[in-house]
Amino acid sequence: MTSTRTRDRMLARLREQGIKDEATLSAMGEIPRHIFVDEALSIRAYEDVSLPIGFGQTISQPYIVARMTEILRNGTQLNKVLEIGTGCGYQTAVLSRVAREVLSLERIRPLVMKARDNLRTLKCTNVKLDHADGSEGLEDYAPFDGIIVTAAASHVPEELLSQLTEGGRMVIPVGTDTQTLYLIERLGNDYKQTKLEAVKFVPLLGGLG
C-alpha cells in the first residue's frame, strides 16, 4: 500500500477530481504520505480521507492538500510561504516542493517534534518550523506571497491579512458548524475574497499546547 503504483493511483484520482497543476501533482506523487501517519493506518494513507494524527488533529485528505496547494500556487513559483498549522508536516512537505521557503507554525509541541522528524527524513531543508500561536502569523518574517491555513477560523484574522505581500494569496477555511474554503488576494490596500467550496477542518485555536 506504500508503493509507487499506489501513489500513481492517488494521482490519477486527483486528476479526475479536477487537480490540473502539474507542479502540485508532482509534489503529491513525490511525498510519501504513509510516513506521516501511524503504522497501523499506513494501509489507508493513499485513500482520499483525513486520518487522525493524535492530539485531536488530523492529516487532511489528499484532495484538499492538492486543492489548497494548487490555489495558492496559481501557476506561479512561490517564494516565501507561511503555513498555519503544521500538524504532522504532510502539507508542509508538499509546499516545500513548490516554494523556495516555507515557514510553518504549530501550537502543539509534540506535533512540532513529530513534523520535524518527518521533514528531516525527507530532507526538506527549505522549511522552518516554530512552536507558536499561528493565529497571529509571523510578522517578523512578513510579507509572504502565500499563506495557507490548515484549520478553520471563525473569521479571517486581520493579523494574517496584513502579512500578505502585494498580489499575495491566502487560502483559508472559515466557519464553525459549516465551513467554506476561501481564497483571499491582496490588491493594494484592498482584499478580494473568493468563496470556493465546502470543507471540514479542525478549529483554529489560539494559545500553545
CA distance 47 to 59: 12
Residue 105's pLDDT is: 97
Q: Are 202 and 149 in contact (CB under 8 A)?
A: no
Residue 2: the pLDDT is: 57
Residue 148 in this model has a pLDDT that exceeds 80: yes
Of 198, 188, 201, nearest to 161 by C-alpha is 188
Residue pLDDT, tens place only, 39-97: 999 999 999 999 999 999 999 999 999 999 999 999 998 999 999 999 999 999 999 99
Q: What angle do CA 98, 163, 53 make, to 5 degrees?
A: 55
Q: Which residue out of 42, 60, 96, 154 is catalytically annotated?
A: 60
What is the model's pTM? Answer: 0.95
pLDDT higher than 70, residue 153? yes
Q: What is the mean pLDDT of residues 171-180?
A: 95
Q: Residue 207: which pLDDT band, with cuts at 50, 70 and 90?
A: confident
Give the mean model confidence (pLDDT) for residues 144-161.
95
The mean pLDDT of the chain is 95
Query: Residue 96 catalytic?
Result: no
For the chain, domains (ranges, CATH) are 4-199 (3.40.50.150)
**Closest to 149 measured CA to CA, from 141, 140, 138:** 138
What's the pLDDT at 191? 96
